[in-house]
Chains A and B, each alone.
Chain A
Amino acid sequence: MFNSMMQQSRRIAGAGSLMAALAFATPALAEDKEPIVFGGSIPLSGVFAFAGIHIHDGLTDYTSWINSEGGINGHEVEYVMEDTAYEVDRSVAAFKKISGSDKPAVYYGDSTGFMKAIASELNNQGNTLMSGASFATALTDNEKYPFQFIPGPNYSQMFGIILEYINSEAAEGDTPTVAFVYSDTEFGKDPIENGKARAAEMGIEVVEEIVTKPGSVDVSAEVLKLRRVRPDYVVFHGYVLSPINEFMVQMRQMGLDTKFMGTFWSSDKLIVDKMGEDADGYMGVMPYNYYDSDESGPMLDALRAQAEKSDPEAGYRPTGYMQGWFNAMVWTEVIKRTLDADKELTAENMAASLASIEDWDTGGIIGIPVTVHDMSFPVGRIWRVNAAEGKYEPVSEWIHLD
């Protein structure tokens, strides 16, 4: 895109009088300004590739779009990535390689494990601000991870948003009951203690906790436990699909009218596509508008136009794509604020710029202006599957936690 634009500019320069007109008509990248590098350890293969490919597309398309808009303060943006197969040692290797050769200002990390492992180097280096696929609560610890942020609510905040919704739906005087079903992984256990504490504060009763293997299929015994306590809601966390589908189908077969909810990585179209009619009514917390939602805004429209332009046949773009795009949007905002303040692009300056984000209009990616708290964006909305339409529809207003 950048090259073709420059070639076009050169041709028109020969025409002399048209040059000035073109300069005003299209934003130009200043050739003397150093490019700004977005780096990334991206899982294009391995167990997380289902999301990694879309994250990569989101980052690639955002880079093309921002360059077509004149880059960041006239600096061209370059996106440099390596596949990691979702393995920590390979993610670290990719980081070392890219940070050695391309000096990225910002970097996409593919897992909580990687982001923890690289933290000490990131802190020592002080050149790069990092975010990525992880919404881990631990990463919002500013003491340990001063140069890492979460591109949305962390998992505990997602639980907070879910519990706010449950509370708002309860009839006056009723005590809603909820069961937490989560995987026995770091990912799965992340928000549970904070979720229980928050539920207790809000007067929501946690009647059951069930831990399973991620991807497990035989959950009959666990379903029987849930039948005994008959929770109003089951909140899943630490899964992508299975065993959510098993729980939902079996509990409905038993005649329970429990409502089912999940967090970011289990709230994509995969559930709708794989479960069909059975997915109807499943609810997820999502900090971004879905690609196929009825919402709009200048940035959301630009995202859709760029996605259409880069691959007209792709159709729906999953939440990984939205997440990749939003990460790059935040990086751009942070870099712009740092450059506008006439400061160097150090991790410390960029982290300060991030912390200064208040009531930021994301152009429709998130439906309300957002403010950064503790290196995260504690905002989200509850969406429910409409199986007949094959999409998620909003059932709550945007919820911004304090």
Chain B
Amino acid sequence: MRIGDAKETYVADEAIWTSPTQTFWFALLMAVLLVFPFLANSYLLYLGCLVGIAVISTTGLNILTGFTGLISLGQAGFMGVGAYTVAVMSTHTALPFPLVLVLAGLAAAAVGILVGLPSLRVKGLYLAIATLAASVFLHFIFAEWESVTGGMEGMSFAPAHMFGFTFRSDFAMYFIILSVAVLALFAARNLFRTRVGRAFIAIRDRDISAEILGISLLKYKLMSFALSSFYAGVAGGLFAYFYRVVTPESFPLSMSIFYLAAVIVGGMGNLLGGVLGAAFMTLVPEALKLLTSALTPFFPNAPVFMSPMLEIIFGALIVGFLIFEPHGLAEIWRRVRRFFHLWPFRN
């Protein structure tokens, strides 16, 4: 049972580290994440990297959709801007990867501001369509601006490097992705302890009221788009460094839907939800394959019948979460935590 946890000031109430127990578990999690690549095989390491990239991009979309209430179907396009920035910079310059990643984020943020302009006039489904149009437009640029993007064939380029070190393997990339993901989450967590973050939430809850309270919708909506796109650009940049090949088809519309689903399944407006949603959407299809592996010794043709079934099961799981836990995985996690806060008592 959690005891001795009374908050006496607003500052204490807003602190990131609220209890020694929380600090302990977080430190343990970080230790596990740091040890993980030394124990994992290449398959698990690869999945770890994918989850990390997905966490960064989902956190970005969560800032925009979950915290500011602006729906976007342009996330894949913004990731593409980041990825192509990395591809172009890696091909034509020798800049170290952290700088290139920041430039990738800034390029995506600049595009995000442009795409966000319609959000001043429209919201909801209309904004979704506006961002969808932007996504299509960006795909067109990736495919047709051949002198820069390599056209439909795309670009392949050198691995990430810094101070003479080259980060070629998944093992090396894991640490880069983990560091960026932790930094991104830490920054996002702090964002919502500031005026800017609270302004986003105020806009989400009632934009007219927020404006009456003195929050500039122009400034903060565009800022939210810029921040969200910055995250997407950095995630796209890491995606590019990870695969070292970028084509227009690397960033389909389905990828935007994937991230939107991750935000919703995880829990909108909750950073932990973004993390859980990204992990769920990335890992569950792989975990479901274990079913096929278990059946194959008994039914050699199981892959043929089970593979389409797994897609249906995955879809059903998403629908199930939406129906039975609309607040997402984060709410389930919160209930589990509350249980242990009170344990051994029930109420």
Contacts and interface: CB of A to CB of B under 8 A. Distances in A.
A184 interface: yes
A96 B46 contact: yes
A120 interface: yes
A53 B153 contact: no
B204 interface: no
Contact of A138 (B50, B153, B170): B153
Interface residues of B, number: 34
A70 B321 CA distance: 51
B304 A53 contact: yes
A144 B245 CA distance: 11
Interface of A is mostly: helix
A92 B46 contact: yes
Contacts of B303: 42, 44, 56, 81-83
B289 interface: yes
B137 interface: no
Interface string B280-306: 000001100100100000000001101
Contacts of B247: 113, 116, 186
Contacts of A92: 46, 243
A148 to B, nearest CB: 13
A93 B170 CA distance: 12
Interface in A329-363: none
B307 A85 contact: yes
A120 B143 CA distance: 23
Nearest to B314: A85
B308 A119 contact: no
A44 B243 contact: no
Interface of B is mostly: helix
B326 interface: no
A81 B41 CA distance: 18
A53 B250 CA distance: 24
Given A88-B250, A116-B156, A119-B156, A44 B307 contact: yes
B46 A93 contact: yes
B144 to A, nearest CB: 9
Interface in A83-105: 83, 85, 88-90, 92-93, 96-97, 99-101
A124 interface: yes
A113 B247 CA distance: 8
B245 to A, nearest CB: 5
Interface string B203-246: 00000000000000000000000000000000000000001110
A89 B306 CA distance: 20
A175 interface: no
A391 interface: no
B101 interface: no
B189 interface: no
Nearest to B169: A124
A92 B49 CA distance: 12
A185 interface: yes
B168 interface: yes
A188 B122 CA distance: 36
A49 interface: yes
Nearest to B140: A184
Given A44-B307, A116-B245, A186-B247, 6 more contacts: A56-B304, A83-B306, A93-B286, A120-B156, A120-B245, A189-B152
The 4 closest A-B pairs by CB, nearest first: A44-B307, A83-B307, A97-B43, A186-B152
Interface of B: 41-43, 45-47, 50, 143, 151-154, 156, 159, 168, 170, 243-245, 247-250, 285-286, 289, 292, 303-304, 306-308, 310-311
25 contacts: A44-B303, A45-B311, A46-B311, A56-B303, A56-B304, A82-B289, A83-B289, A83-B306, A85-B307, A88-B250, A92-B46, A92-B243, A93-B286, A96-B45, A99-B42, A100-B43, A113-B249, A120-B156, A120-B168, A120-B244, A138-B153, A185-B249, A186-B153, A186-B247, A186-B249
